[in-house]
Structure 1
C-alpha cells in the first residue's frame, strides 16, 4: 500500500513555527528553502548539509525544496541570465549530492501568490486568505497607479473597483496596498510602490509567448542535470491563474501544462500539483490533469477554495470547498499505487485560529490551521485506503 508522504512547510530557523511543532503535528518531512541565500546565488553543499542536519536532529527529513527560486533575469532572458542558469545547475547538482531529489520552483514574474485580504473572518472567527478582483483593480489603477493600467480593465470593472475603494478608510487602503505587495515567501519585507513599478518596467515587452519561450529555454538547460541525478523538478502553477498587474502568465491552464510538458518531454520536467491554484480557474479539470499528467506530478499542495462570485475566491477548509478533495485524493492514491511512488504532500494555506493570532506568522502558514488540514487529509486518505482495499 503506497500512501502520501506527510510534510509541512518550514521557513527556516527564523520561522515562529518550530521543527518540534511540525513533528508534533504528525508530519515526517519538511518542505523548505535556504531563504537566507540571495536569489540567483549558488546553494553550497555546506549550506545544504547544515540545514539538513538541523532538520534531521529534530527527527524529520528535508523532503522537498520549496523553492529553489528562479532569478528574474532568467525569466526575462536578460542581463546575467546565462550565469544565473549556470548557478542553478550547480545548486541542483549540490542538492543531488546531498540526496535531495524533488525541487519546486515557479515562473511567476515578480510576485509570488497574490491575495487582496489576509484576514477574511470566517463564521467561526478564524481568518482566511481572499482574492477580490474589485479590490485588486482598485489597488492597480487608483492606488499603485500603474501606467496604462486603466487599459487592462473595462469601464464597468473600473467603476465597480472605484465603488469598492470609496468605502475604504485610509487605513484599509494602506492594508490593501501591503497585502498585494507581500514579499517573497519567508520574507517579512514588502515591495514598495517604487520597487514594483521599476520591476514592472522590465516586463514591458514580455508577453505570454516570450515568457513561455524563456521558461522552455531554462528547462532545456536544467532538466538534463536533474535527469542525470534522478531529480524531479516541479513547477508551481500561477496563483491566481490569470494575469495580475499586466504581467504574463504561462502556468495557469491545462493547455499551459501541455505546452510545457510537450516542449521538454522528460519526466524530470514535472508539476507541483496545487489544487488551490488550479481550481481558482473553474475551467481547469483537476481530475483530468491527474489522468493526463500523472507521471509529471512530483509534489502535492492540497488545499481548497470557494468561489463566492466570478470576481471573489477565498481559501476554505481543506475538505470543504469547490475542490472535491475526496475524489482528488482517491485518484492520487490510485496513481501512487500504480506507479509505486509515494508522493510528498503538504497541507497549504491553513486558517489563522484565535490561539495563534498574537504570533507573527507568514499569512496562510499558521501551525494550527495547517495541523487541522493535515489531520483531515490524513483521515480522508485512511478512509479511502479502507474503501479501495489497497
Structure 2
C-alpha cells in the first residue's frame, strides 16, 4: 500500500515542508484555483509538480479533476467541457500522472452539519446530524417541496428554534462549505438555484449522464494509460432532493459494468461508504478490488441504522468500519495483482480526514484536513499495515 497525502497547493495552511515530515513519498493534489470546465495546461501541471518535487515527493494522484455541473446536467457547454476534460487528461498523462479521481455529486462535494464537533478527548471532528440537516432544509433554506416524516419535521422545528440566529448561521456555514479548496462558498439563493436545475433529472437521469460522460472520456484514458476512479457520494444517501448515483455497491456495479474498462474504476472511500451500515467495505474490496486504483482510509461512528442517518468522523482504527478487515482485503488484492504481473499492484492510499487535535486549531487548515490529526491517523494505519504485512 503506497502512502500518499492530500495537499491543496501553495495556499494550503499545511505547507509542503510540513507534509515532507510525515514521510509519505506521494502527493494527491489538484488545481483548485481553476474552475470546473477549465483546461489544465502543461504549464500549470508542471508548476505544481515542481513545487512538490522540490520537497522530495512526487505528484502521483489527481484529486480531483472536477466534472462541471453542465456535464452532470448535460446543459449549456457540456460537450465543450468534455472535450476540455479529455485535453486535460492528455496533459496529465504527458506529465506522467496516471491516477485521476473525480466525483459525480450534484452541487455539493460533501456535506456536514458541524465542522468542529467536540469529542470527550478535547479533539474535534466533523459530524453530520440528520436532525440539524432537516432543520436547515425546512426552516433555513425553506426548500419548496421538502418533506420529512412527521416526527422528524416536528423535532426539526424545535431544533431550529433551539439553535437561534447564531446557531443557524453556524449550521448554514458548515453545510455550504462546499468543495475543499474552493475559493468561495454557496449562498442560500445560489444553492436553491442549483437545486432547481436538478429538479427534473432524477437518479436514473444522472446515472445516464455519468455513463455518457464515461463513454466519452474512458476510451481516451485507456489509450493514455490512465486510471480514472469515481469517489462515492458523501454522505451516501439523498439530500435536498438531489439525485445520488454512487452510494452503494449496486450503484458502482451498474456504472462499472456499463463502461467495462480497466481505465474506469472506484475510489474506495471507507468513510463515505461507511456512513451506511449496509455497505460492507471489506466485501466490496474483495469483489471490486481489481477496479480500485486509489483508496481513502478513514472511519465513522454511526448513531443508528436509519437512512439517512447521523454519524461523526472517528479515529482511523475506531468506528463502525472494520478497518483491519479492509486492510487485509487490500493487501490480498495487491498480492493477486503482483502475482499477475500488474504494474499497478502497489495501490496508493491516503489517510482521509482526521480529528483536529493539539495545535491543529491554530493552523486553521481545511476542515477535515488537519496536520496532526491526519498524521496520527497515518501512523495508526502505517502500524496496522506493517503488522499485517509481516
TM-score range normalised by the length of the shorter chain: over 0.9
Q: For residues 44 and 358 of structure 1, what CA distance do their matches in structure 2 show?
A: 35
Deviation, 1:85, is 0.4
The correspondence for 1:115, drawn from 112, 115, 129, is: 112
- Are the counterparts in 1 of residues 360 and 373 from structure 2 also a CA contact under 8 Å? no
Partner of 2:127: helix, strand, or coil? strand
Structure with the larger RCO, 1 or 2 (CA within 8 Å, 6+ apart): 1
| 1:346 counterpart residue number | 350
Q: For residues 98 and 249 of structure 2, what CA distance do their matches in structure 1 show?
A: 25
Deviation, 1:333, is 0.6
TM score, norm. by length of structure 1? 0.96
TM score, norm. by length of structure 2? 0.96
Larger mean Cα displacement after TM superposition, 48-57 or 215-224: 48-57
| 2:321 counterpart residue number | 323
Deviation, 1:201, is 1.2
Partner of 1:141: helix, strand, or coil? helix
Structure 1, unaligned runs of 5 or more: none
- Are the counterparts in 2 of residues 181 and 190 from structure 1 also a CA contact under 8 Å? yes
Alignment: residue pair count = 381
Q: For residues 20 and 169 of structure 1, what CA distance do their matches in structure 2 show?
A: 42
Deviation, 1:183, is 2.5
Deviation, 1:382, is 0.5
Q: For residues 210 and 21 of structure 2, what CA distance do their matches in structure 1 show?
A: 39
- Deviating runs (4+, > 4 A) in structure 1? none
2:46 corresponds to 1:49: yes
- Are the counterparts in 1 of residues 358 and 372 from structure 2 also a CA contact under 8 Å? no
| 2:245 counterpart residue number | 250
| 1:159 counterpart residue number | 154
Partner of 1:225: helix, strand, or coil? helix
Q: For residues 96 and 31 of structure 2, what CA distance do their matches in structure 1 show?
A: 16
Larger mean Cα displacement after TM superposition, 152-161 or 10-19: 152-161
The correspondence for 2:384, drawn from 353, 359, 380, is: 380
| 2:341 counterpart residue number | none
The correspondence for 1:294, drawn from 289, 293, 296, is: 289
Q: For residues 83 and 226 of structure 1, what CA distance do their matches in structure 2 show?
A: 17
| 2:262 counterpart residue number | 267
Pairwise CA RMSD: 0.9
Q: For residues 188 and 315 of structure 1, what CA distance do their matches in structure 2 show?
A: 24
| 2:298 counterpart residue number | 303
Deviation, 1:156, is 1.5
| 1:332 counterpart residue number | 330
- Are the counterparts in 2 of residues 125 and 354 from structure 1 also a CA contact under 8 Å? no
The correspondence for 2:73, drawn from 76, 81, 85, is: 76
The correspondence for 2:131, drawn from 121, 130, 134, is: 134
Tell me the alpha carbon deviations over residues 277-325 of structure 1, each in whole angstroms, 9 at most, x when there is no partner: 1111111111221121111101010000001234320000000110111
Larger mean Cα displacement after TM superposition, 179-188 or 259-268: 179-188
Q: For residues 22 and 227 of structure 2, what CA distance do their matches in structure 1 show?
A: 27
- Are the counterparts in 1 of residues 354 and 374 from structure 2 also a CA contact under 8 Å? yes
Q: For residues 244 and 156 of structure 1, what CA distance do their matches in structure 2 show?
A: 18
Deviation, 1:164, is 1.9
2:83 corresponds to 1:86: yes
Deviation, 1:188, is 4.8
